[in-house]
Amino acid sequence: MKLSEMLTAIREYPALKIKYEAMCEQQASQERTAVQLSIAYNNLQIGNRQLSQKNKALETALVKLVPQLNSREHCRRFYKAVAPYLDPGGFVLYRSAAELTRFHISTEFATEDNMGKFEEMDGYGMLRYLTADRFGSVEYEIVAPCYEEAVSLHTDYTSPEYLAFEKKLYEKTLRELGFGKLLPEERAPQKDMDKRKERKGGRTMTEPITIGVDHGYAAMKTAYCSFPSGLAEYEHEPYTQKNVLCYDGKYYVVGSGRQPLQKDKTADENYYLLTLAAIAKEIAYRNAPTTTPVILAAGLPLTSFGREKKAFRAYLLREGKPVSFSYEGISYETSVQDVKLFPQGYAAILQHSDLLNEPSVILADIGGWTVDIMRLDNRIPYAASCRSLELGMIRCLDEIAEQVRRA
């Protein structure tokens, strides 16, 4: 070692020694901390085992001492007793109700959702909207030219349908909270039983498919097909099966002519029959079995969404019962398991993410009879700017024909 290197080492030695001693102390401190954490971890494990044993003991005592919760009132009272500790916001209760009824609050009450009304609402508040929509009535107030807001919620808590629903609701919620052993043994859902039966016979049950249907005044449209909203009824079987729907012993030629203007599409069976034809076309296009169950997605005009959605949903759903019909000589036996409704036009812009990033966008849905206009500010519809004008393509073509006739 050179003399200069020796002098440098002697000069740096005190500082390096202090640094080394500090590192040793830090290591010793970390080792002490590790020992303390290990002790704390072991204590937590012991505490968890004790809590687990206590929980098992309490569960055993509850099963032996508490009467079985076999009535609606018993289930309701038991939930009320445990809810302040296990479901203080009522969100488990609401989630169970939504699953039982296939209720989507953002779809059924789109205006209120866009206004942010549900962001800070607890589960019990949202449950009031659900029960009023499914088991009562909702009164609306026009808050903008194309938007209605629910201002009064009414639920018939004494109807047989609601009482049956309430029993299922509290049973399902208590199972979610871990009290399933206090309830009667849960029966397998009928569709699961049917699935097992079909598997025994060497067949498997088909999963439902979602079909979007645009019930236009001029044309019926799905993802893969479009045909005029015309329907001609025949008492006897036509000479050809082309576009022929057979339902309930009657024959209809689909796409023939144009429907008379009908603002209330639930006034007769025409749009339901057109929906069956659309379902048949979609099932055939997708090469799906003719027994495939269906989930329908449909739209309603902005101006009447809140007012018409309940009736239109029931019109298409038909309580989810099986429906048998034939289209173009092919027999179908399906069921509409659920119906999801959306404001017309809004779904279209969701396919264009580049437009959604714009601060303000004008959406124009040009249909057969109406032109629906919506302005979106930062992706949120601006209610005051929405309009539904009866200036669609049917009016346009009729006016052109009239001007040509006069010329």
Could you give the CA distance from residue 113 to residue 122 in angstroms, rounded to a whole number? Answer: 14
Minimal CA–CA distance to 309: which of 298, 321, 319, 295?
298
Give the pLDDT score at 126: 93
3-state DSSP call for residue 227? Answer: strand
What pLDDT digit, counting tens, does each position of 95-145 carry? 999 999 888 887 788 778 877 889 889 999 999 999 998 888 888 777 665
Could you give the CA distance from residue 212 to residue 231 in angstroms, rounded to a whole number? Answer: 20
Q: What angle do CA 347, 359, 343 make, to 5 degrees?
A: 20
Amino acid at 96: S
3-state DSSP call for residue 4? Answer: helix
CA distances from 36 to 25, 32, 39, 43, 63 (A): 16, 6, 5, 11, 40
What pLDDT digit, counting tens, does each position of 275-286 carry? 999 999 999 888
CA distances from 275 to 211, 240, 382 (A): 10, 21, 32
Q: Which residues, including other chains, have CB under 8 Å from residue 118's CB and lie 6 or more apart?
A: 105, 106, 109, 112, 125, 126
Q: For residue 317, how many other CB atoms are within 10 A of its CB? A: 16
Q: Are 348 and 326 in contact (CB under 8 A)?
A: no
The DSSP string of 71-113 is SHHHHHHHHHHHHHHH-TTSHHHHHHHHHHHT--HHHHTHHHH
Give the pLDDT score at 186: 65
- What's the predicted TM-score (pTM) here? 0.52
Give the pLDDT score at 360: 85
Give the pLDDT score at 130: 93
Torsion of CA 231, 236, 239, 241, to 10 degrees: 50
Give the pLDDT score at 202: 38
Cross-strand pairs, 341: 298
Phi-psi region of 90 (alpha: psi -120 to 50; beta: other; left: phi over 0): left
Give the pLDDT score at 213: 92
Minimal CA–CA distance to 381: which of 144, 216, 139?
144
Give the pLDDT score at 257: 65
Is the Cα dihedral 304, 308, 310, 313 positive or negative?
negative
Give the pLDDT score at 259: 64
Q: Which residues, including other chains, have CB under 8 Å from residue 327's CB and lie 6 or more apart?
A: 244, 245, 246, 254, 276, 277, 280, 281
Could you give the CA distance from residue 176 to residue 90 in angstroms, rounded to a whole number? Answer: 12
Phi-psi region of 158 (alpha: psi -120 to 50; beta: other; left: phi over 0): alpha
Q: Which residues, including other chains, have CB under 8 Å from residue 96's CB and lie 6 or more apart?
A: 169, 172, 173, 176
Could you give the CA distance from residue 377 to residue 381 in angstroms, rounded to a whole number? Answer: 6
The stretches in the chain having pLDDT less than 50 are 188-205
Place of tokens 């859902």: 189
Amino acid at 380: I
Q: What backbone torsions phi and psi does residue 308 show, to the nearest 5 degrees?
A: -105, -10
Checking DSSP bridges between strand 330-343 and strand 294-300, what pairing results, if any?
Answer: parallel
